[in-house]
Structure 1
Amino acid sequence: MPILFLVIVGAAAGFLATRIMRVEADVPTTIAIGVFGALLGGLVLRALVTMAGWAAGFVGAVMGALLLIWLWQKVSGRR
């Protein structure tokens, strides 16, 4: 089932991409463009989401450290 889904989504993506780029291609080439484009796009998107996750973790760590410093200053009476 996943392979059939990949072919259907690939065909739709390939059709849309060939129309946007104004490329004339036959049906098997259009499907291949869509399937390989989906694989490539999925890898790139997964890498970007992973990097965004690391960045979000870093931002969260900095914000947590800032909060602890602020609380420490309030409790200890330091400025």
Structure 2
Amino acid sequence: MSFVMLLIVGAAAGFLATRFMRLDTDVPTTIAIGVLGALVGGLVLRVLIAMAGWMAGFVGAVLGAMALIWAWQTYGPRR
């Protein structure tokens, strides 16, 4: 993303964030809040997506094992 685009997106994000939080700031502070917020939010989102991917695999493995146990108990050999 180019520097100008980063400033535009940061200004928009900062404007919305300062309005939602009812904070009265000047334009450079609003842009700084938006740009830094985008960097922090992007980092947090990447970590959450990575964890969600790992957790989704774990949940899928547990559900698959449960389905296998069910199938074994339902259709497996009788004792």
Instruction: Output the TM-score relative to the length of structure 2.
Output: 0.80
Residue 49 of structure 2 is aligned to residue 32 of structure 1: no
Q: Which residue of 2 aligns with 1:54?
A: 54
Q: State the shift of 1:12 in Å.
A: 0.3
Q: Which residue of 1 aligns with 2:66?
A: 66
Runs (5+) with no aligned partner, structure 1: none
- Quote the sequence identity (%): 71
Distance 1:58 1:78, change over 3 A: farther
Which is worse superposed, 69-78 or 50-59? 69-78
Q: Aligned pair count? A: 79
CA RMSD of aligned residues (A): 1.9
Residue 14 of structure 2 is aligned to residue 18 of structure 1: no
Q: State the shift of 1:75 in Å.
A: 4.4
Question: Which amino acid letter does the alignment assign opposite residue 34 of structure 2?
Answer: G
Deviations 1:23-50 (A, max 9, x none): 2222111111100011111111211121
